[in-house]
Amino acid sequence: MPIDLEDRGSALENEYFRRQEQELLAKMKAKMETEEAEVTSLKCPKCDGNLVEAVYENITIDACNKCQGVWLDAGELAQIIKKDEGGWFSNLFN
Ligand SMILES: [Zn+2]
């Protein structure tokens, strides 16, 4: 069976491009997965807006960029009330 050099060359070329493509796809997939993870972890539970981290009195809170809702993690509300002692915010809970 004679070796067809031209065929062998294009086979190698195809293999090279196939690998390049696979690498590129793997990179794109990894990038999409991280982006997706970021978005899903910061989705507003009320609307389809995104929660953006904001800092209020050195406490990091999550505020929705669409409905302006504010989401507090456990303990954050207590921290805000404590910092705001005597203010309007803590009066809401008295
Ligand atoms: Zn929202």
User: pLDDT tens, 36-86?
Assistant: 655 456 888 899 898 888 888 788 888 999 999 998 887 888 888 888 778
- How far is 49 from 57, CA to CA, in rounded Å? 24
Q: Which residues lie near ion ligand 1 (Cβ < 5 Å)?
A: 44, 46-47, 49, 64, 66-67, 69
Identify the weakest region by mean pLDDT among 8-17, 25-34, 37-46, 65-74: 37-46
Centre of ligand 1 from the C-alpha of residue 52, in Å: 10
pLDDT at 6 over 60: yes
* Four-point Cα dihedral 42, 43, 47, 51, nearest 10: 10
The per-residue pLDDT of the chain, averaged, comes to 82
pLDDT at 3: 65
CA of 4 from ligand 1 middle (Å) equals 64
